Amino acid sequence: MSTTEIIFLVEQAPEGGYTAQALNESIFTEADDLETLKIMVKDAVNCHFDTPEHLGLTKDEFLKQMFSE
């Protein structure tokens, strides 16, 4: 099985809050703040893929890499 990296473009929304759009998948979500956006991204990824194996790593590892500072 090949692993696909999912890259999200995170932007401030003009009407307030933040949006996250995957650049190589049909995944989009939004939230009022960055902490909630992290949760919403996780939910969106869960909805888009049947199992975490599609990500090649656990969902927590995926989020840690995505939001590491």
* Residues in the chain, total: 69
The model's pLDDT over 14-59, given as tens digits with 9 standing for 90+, comes to 999 999 999 989 999 999 999 999 999 988 988 887 655 545 556 6
User: 54: Cβ–Cβ under 8 A, 6 or more apart, which residues?
Assistant: 4
pTM score over 0.75: no
Closest CA to 11 of 24, 26, 23: 23
Please give the Cα distance from 31 to 66 (Å, whole number): 16
How many helices (H) and strands (E) the chain has is answered by 2, 3
The pLDDT, as a whole number, for residue 47 is 85
Where are the strands (E) in the chain, listed by range? 8-12, 18-22, 28-31
Domain extents in the chain: 8-64
